[in-house]
Amino acid sequence: MGVTLFFDLKDQPMLYMFEKSRGTYIKKEALPVTVSAEYELGLEKAPHDIEASYVSVPLSMLSFRTIELPFSDMKRVREVLPFELDNLILGGAGGIVFDARVLKESEGTYKFLVVCIKKDSLGKLLEAFRRQGLDIKTVTSIDLVSALDAFSSADEIAGLLMQQSTGSLRAEDRITIAAHEVADPAIDLRRGEFAYSGDTEKARKSLKYTLVFSALLLVLFLSDLSLNSIAMKKESLSIHNEIRRSYTDMFPGERNITSEIYQLKAHLREMKDKEPLFAGISPLQVLLDVTAAGKNGFSFNEIDIENARIVLKGECRTLSDVQTLRNSLAGFFTDVAISDTKPLVQGKTAFTISAKVRRT
């Protein structure tokens, strides 16, 4: 937590430094300073880590007016005061900056003390501090606040201020009032074109950093999302290719493959429809019997089993071998018959044999 500076521009100017602890401003140090006519500061040691800066101006820089209004809302008061002050201030209200404080209320009428400072004087003060790296947050007056707190009579307060005489204040009293003004200013002459914008700038910078950080996070999130999407697409393509290879292995004769999952379901439905045809038939046993009958020099290209009927298509060396195979198959099946034979270019013989399965 940084320090808060409070410059008390009395006859012997002082700098009060405060630290905030549990919501209360505690005096850390009080140092004498020299201030030139141009508000150039002379400090014994320059403070570091400054949180905010405040200034208390002497009564000699201020002027005062009392005005009665039928309302107390400060927003409305500040809106109408320029018109009320125009005829009360030499040169008009355009050359001053003002703030107001309610002195008393009587039968719905409010008496205000209006505190004024010339724009030229205020601008010169703020610019001098700004050149020295200090952006003053609040311009107030310890002597004015002391008078407002010490006297109960509105006329007495107004009279003392008009005379610019509030009596002497002890150093500790001035520090106490300064701490209260830092926490909650009773008067603040940084208004209108001189309004303090440091907090707005800090908020704007904070928002800018937040937006930049959020944009970076969004870019990182989208990048991660894009990488994950690319990885998922690659994995999906790999899975699809694996399904295609498995399907091709299962159905090597099928060429028009558009949707492996849909076509596999169609094959499953077809097999389910044919399930009653295999009642009492063991396809595995049929294959074992065919293999046993044709184990010497026979090759089978196609074996169809449907409703207990078997159709075998294959190749062998000679026509007599076809007859031999037929006789061997008769030992395992019934109604074995040679349906077709024809010679091949390679000197072999293609054959088709039909038979029936013995039901168990």
What is the per-residue pLDDT for 142? 93
What is the per-residue pLDDT for 19? 93
In angstroms, the CA 233 to CA 76 distance is 65
pTM score: 0.57
DSSP string, 197-251: -HHHHHHHHHHHHHHHHHHHHHHHHHHHHHHHHHHHHHHHHHHHHHHHHHHHHH-
pLDDT tens readout for residues 81-112 = 999 898 888 888 889 999 999 888 888 899 99
Among 54-63, 70-79, 227-236, the range scoring the smallest mean pLDDT is 227-236
Question: Architecture of domain 279-356 in CATH?
Answer: 2-Layer Sandwich (3.30)
pLDDT tens readout for residues 224-245 = 888 888 888 888 888 888 888 8
Name the more confident of 68 and 358.
68
% of the chain surpassing 90 pLDDT = 35
What is the per-residue pLDDT for 298? 84
In angstroms, the CA 217 to CA 224 distance is 10
CATH 3.30.420 fits 3-62+119-196, yes or no: yes
What is the per-residue pLDDT for 303? 85
Coil/strand/helix, residue 330: coil
What the block records as the tokens of 94 is 């355009």
What the block records as the tokens of 135 is 């952006």
pLDDT tens readout for residues 177-226 = 999 999 999 999 999 899 998 766 566 666 777 777 787 888 888 888 88
Mean pLDDT of the region 263-273: 74
Mean pLDDT estimate for the chain: 84
pLDDT at 7 over 90: yes
Q: Which residue has the tokens 């500040």?
A: 78
> How many CB atoms neighbour CB 263 within 10 A?
15
